[in-house]
Amino acid sequence: MELEKSRMEEAEEIRERYGLAMERIRAMKDETAVSAPFYDYFLKTADFILEVRRLAEEVSQDRRMARMTLEELQEQNEKLYGDIAGEAYEESYANPAYAVRLLGEDYGQILSFLYTEVRGMIVWAVEQRYEDLTMTAELFIEIYNIFEEEIPSAKSLRQTIYWYMSDNCEVFIPYRIREQLDPSLSFAKEIICEADLNDPRYLYRFGEYITENELETSRFLAGLPQEEIDAMASTFTEGYRIGFVNAGIDLSRKKTVNIRYALGFERVVRAAVEQFEKMGLESIIYREARHSINRRPQGNAGYCSTLPSKQYVFDHKEDSALYLDKKLVERRLSVLHAAYEEYKDLAAVHAGPAVMEIFGEKPFLPRSCKEALAFNEKQQELSVYYSSQSGQLVNRYIPGDERSFTIIAWPIPEIGDNFEEIFREIEKINNLDYRLYQSIQQKLIDALDQGEYVHIKGAGANRTDMKVQLVKLEHPEKETIFENCVADVNIPVGEVFTSPKLSGTDGTLHVSEVYLNELKYLDLELTFRDGRVASYTCGNFEDEEENRKYIRNNVLFNHETLPLGEFAIGTNTTAYMTAQKYDIGAKLPILIAEKMGPHFAVGDTCFSWSEDNPTYNPDGKQIMAKDNECSILRKEDPAKAYFNCHTDITIPYDELDSITVVRPDGSEIPLIEKGRFVLPGTEELNRPFSC
C-alpha cells in the first residue's frame, strides 16, 4: 500500500514538473532574450516540443487518435518527422553540417545533438512516459536559460550535458534493461494483439515514422489467408525452437522471448506471439533505443520502421563523443550491473531474440560529415571497453550457453514494382527443402574435413586470394570441422561454416560492392595475417584516410584489429538466381547474401559464449571447431576473447573463381571452379544457374 502511494506521489510530481516545463517552453515563443543566430534554433525546437505535447494529449484523451482519419494521422506524422525526412534533412538542425553552418562549429555540434535527443520525445509521448518527456524538456530549458544570460562557452554547454547524462543514466539505463526483460511492459504487444490489423491506422499508434513501406506491407499481409500467415510465422518460431534442440538447450526452463521486427508485419508477429505462447514463451517487444546513452554506434536492437533518413542515423551514431569519458563509462557499467541485478530473475528465464529483418530499401551510400560528433582515439578505446564489459555482464545474467535465437528476412514494397512476386519467391526460399541441402552439404563437409586449409580465389577483377587454415581433427570418424547449417536459427537454408584456425590464415579478401550493416562499401579489401585483419581499405571516398576511418568505425567497430571468426560456403544458388532475376542483389540482407557464396566474418565466432555446449551435425559427428586462438582466452580473460561484433562479408558466385580443399599431403579437392560446384554429389546446386 505504501509503495503504491509512493508511486502515485512520484507520478504526480512528474506531471507537475512536466506541466511547468511545457509552460516555460510555450513562453519562449514570446521572448527575444536569445540573440541571433541561436534564436531561430530555440524557436523551432520549442515548436517541435509543443507539437509533441499535443501528441501526448491526444494519446491520453480517451482514444482521440482512434477517431482520427488516416489522412489526419499522416499529416500529424509528417509534422513530427518531416524535418528529417528525405531532402528536408539537409536544412534541419538535426543535420550537424547545417547546424554548424548556421551556429558555428562548437555550438552547431552541441545543439544538433540536443535537437536529436529532443526528437526522442515523440515515442515517449505515445508511450506516456512523462518522466522521460520531463527530463528532456528540462535539459532543453536549462540550455536555453544559459543562452538567455549571454552566449556561453562551448565548454559550459558540454558540462551541462555531461552532468545531465551522468545524473540521469540511473533512470535511463535500468528502464532500458527492464523493457528488454519484463513482459508486463507491453505497449507494442498490446497494439499488435488487440488492434484491427485490417485498418492501417493502427500503425500510427506506435509513434514511429510511417511510409508506404509500412502501409503497403500491412495491406498486403491483410489480404493473405490466415493459413499462409500462420505458415510464415511457423517457419520463424519453429526455427527458434529447433535452434534450442540442436544446441542441446532446455527451452522449457525459459519463459520469455524477444521479438524484433519492422512495422507493417504485425499480422505475422501476432501469429508468432500465439505460437510462442504454445511453447510456454511470453513475447517481449521493445523499440530501438532513443536516449543517446542507450544507443550503440554499431546499431540498436528493437522494433523500428523505415528510417526518415539513414544519413541522419549515420551522422549521429557517435553522439556520445560529446560526453564520453572514463568516469562516465565506469558509472554506466555500475548502473548497468545494478539494473541486471535488480531484474536478474527476469533475465534468468529469458530465451533470447527472434528477429524478423526487412530488405528492399534503396541502397545507402553514406556521405562523410566532418561536422558530426566522432570519437577521438581515447573514446574509441572506451567504446570498445564498454562494449566488452557490458557484453560480459549480459552473459553473466543471460548465459550464452542457455539462450538461442533465430533470424528471418522479408522484402518490403520499396524493393520495386515486383514486390508481391519477390515476396512469394522469398517465401519459397525461406521454406526450401532442408533435407536436400543437408545431404548435399554433408558431401561438402566430408571433403572439407580432409583439409589442412582451404584456398579461395576471386575471378576477374576480384582480387581475393585467401588461405583459410582448418582445425585438425583427432578423431575424424566421430568429429567434424564444419557445421551443416539447415534453416533453424539462421533462415534460409544454405551454408556450411566453421571457426578457422587463425595461425596460418593469410591473404586478401576483396569484394567489388557489398552492404554491411546497411552501409555500402565499394572495392572493400581486407588483408589478413595469421587470421587477423592487418590492413584495410575501400573506394568510398577520395581521401584514403576517410576510407580507413569508415572501415575502422563500421566494420572493426573501433578495434585495432579483429580476427576471422568464421569461414563459410554458401550453397543457396536458388536465392542467388532470384537476386539475379530481379536485380535485387544489392538490396538483400546479409542473412540471405551470406548463403550466396563463400563468406568471411570478422569478429566473434558463431559459437561465442556457448563454446562448451556440445554441438552435433545431423550425421551424429561432434563439431570441434568452435574456438580459435582469441576465443579460447575466455578461460583466462573474457575481455580478450570477445569483441561483441560479427560482420559477414560475402563473395558472390559471379566474382568467385575457385574454392579448393588442400590436404596435409598437398593433394587437392576442388569444390568450386569457375563459380560452379564441381564436387561429385553437389551438381544439384548448379541447377538454378541454368533455369
Q: Are residues 519 and 400 in the same domain?
A: no
Summarised one tens digit per residue, pLDDT across range 549-577 is: 999 999 999 999 999 999 999 999 999 99
- Report the predicted TM-score, pTM, of the whole model to 2 decimal places: 0.92
Q: Are residues 533 and 638 in the same domain?
A: yes
The predicted model gives 127-143 an average pLDDT of: 97
In a domain, residue 159? The reply is no
- Tell me, what's the pLDDT at 63? 66
Boundaries of domain holding 350: 187-406
How far apart are alpha carbons 18 and 60 in whole angstroms?
14
Question: How many independent structural domains does the chain possess?
Answer: 3
Backbone angles phi, psi at 515, to 5 degrees: -115, 120
The predicted model gives 595-605 an average pLDDT of: 95
How far apart are alpha carbons 238 and 246 in whole angstroms?
12
In a domain, residue 39? The reply is yes
Amino acid letter at 172?
F
- Tell me, what's the pLDDT at 690? 84
Q: Are residues 229 and 289 in the same domain?
A: yes
How far apart are alpha carbons 556 and 216 in whole angstroms?
36
How far apart are alpha carbons 251 and 248 in whole angstroms?
9
Q: Are residues 377 and 457 in the same domain?
A: no
Summarised one tens digit per residue, pLDDT across range 339-365 is: 999 999 999 999 999 999 999 998 888
Q: Which residues of 472-497 are buried (b: 16+ CB within 10 A; e: fewer)?
A: ebeeeeebbbbbbbbbbbbbbbbbbb
- Tell me, what's the pLDDT at 150? 86
For the chain, percent of residues with pLDDT exceeding 70: 98
In a domain, residue 1? The reply is no
Q: Are residues 516 and 461 in the same domain?
A: yes
Q: How many residues are present in the chain?
A: 691
In a domain, residue 414? The reply is no
Going by C-alpha positions, the residue among 174, 386, 213, 367 that lies closest to residue 298 is 386
Q: Are residues 333 and 474 in the same domain?
A: no
Q: Are residues 227 and 102 in the same domain?
A: no
Of 127, 152, 177, the residue at which a domain comes to its end is 152
In a domain, residue 144? The reply is yes
5, containing H or E segment: helix 2-28
How far apart are alpha carbons 69 and 324 in whole angstroms?
44
Judged against a pLDDT cut of 70, whether residue 3 lies above it is answered with no
Summarised one tens digit per residue, pLDDT across range 215-234 is: 999 999 999 999 999 999 99
Of 152, 177, 201, the residue at which a domain comes to its end is 152
Q: Are residues 85 and 127 in the same domain?
A: yes
Which is more confident, 4 or 669? 669
Judged against a pLDDT cut of 80, whether residue 1 lies above it is answered with no
The predicted model gives 453-478 an average pLDDT of: 97
How far apart are alpha carbons 207 and 634 in whole angstroms?
42
In a domain, residue 208? The reply is yes
- Tell me, what's the pLDDT at 176? 97
In a domain, residue 349? The reply is yes
Q: Are residues 144 and 196 in the same domain?
A: no
Q: Which residues of 110-131 are buried (b: 16+ CB within 10 A; e: fewer)?
A: bbbbbbbbbbbbbbbbbbebbb
Going by C-alpha positions, the residue among 416, 477, 517 that lies closest to residue 619 is 477
How far apart are alpha carbons 82 and 192 in whole angstroms?
26
Q: Which set of grid coordinates corresponds to residue 6?
A: 509512493
Summarised one tens digit per residue, pLDDT across range 478-518 is: 999 999 988 678 899 999 999 999 999 999 999 999 988 88
- Tell me, what's the pLDDT at 433? 87
What is the average pLDDT value for the chain, to the nearest integer? 94
Residues 6 or more apart in contact with residue 301 via CB below 8 angstroms:
180, 258, 260, 288, 353
Which residue intervals of 150-211 are DSSP H helices?
A: 154-181, 187-194
Contact 77, 122 (CB under 8 A): no
In a domain, residue 163? The reply is no
What is the distance, to the nearest Å, from the Cα of residue 218 to the centroid of all Cα atoms in its chain? 22
- Tell me, what's the pLDDT at 417? 92
Contact 483, 605 (CB under 8 A): no
Of 406, 441, 461, the residue at which a domain comes to its end is 406
Summarised one tens digit per residue, pLDDT across range 375-420 is: 999 999 999 999 999 999 999 999 998 999 999 999 999 999 999 9
Mutual angle of helices 154-181 and 130-149, in 10-degree steps: 180
Q: Are residues 267 and 380 in the same domain?
A: yes
Judged against a pLDDT cut of 90, whether residue 235 lies above it is answered with yes
How far apart are alpha carbons 387 and 463 in whole angstroms?
33
Most confident of 31-35, 431-435, 566-570, 631-635: 566-570
- Tell me, what's the pLDDT at 10? 76
- Tell me, what's the pLDDT at 363? 84
How far apart are alpha carbons 391 and 646 in whole angstroms?
13
Q: Are residues 214 and 293 in the same domain?
A: yes
Q: Are residues 205 and 119 in the same domain?
A: no
- Tell me, what's the pLDDT at 616? 92
For the range 89-95, what are the long-range contacts, defined as Cβ-Cβ under 8 Å and sequence gap of 24 or more?
89/308, 89/309, 89/311, 89/312, 93/41, 93/44, 93/45, 94/119, 94/312, 94/316, 95/311, 95/312, 95/315
The predicted model gives 315-322 an average pLDDT of: 97
* C-alpha gyration radius of the chain: 26
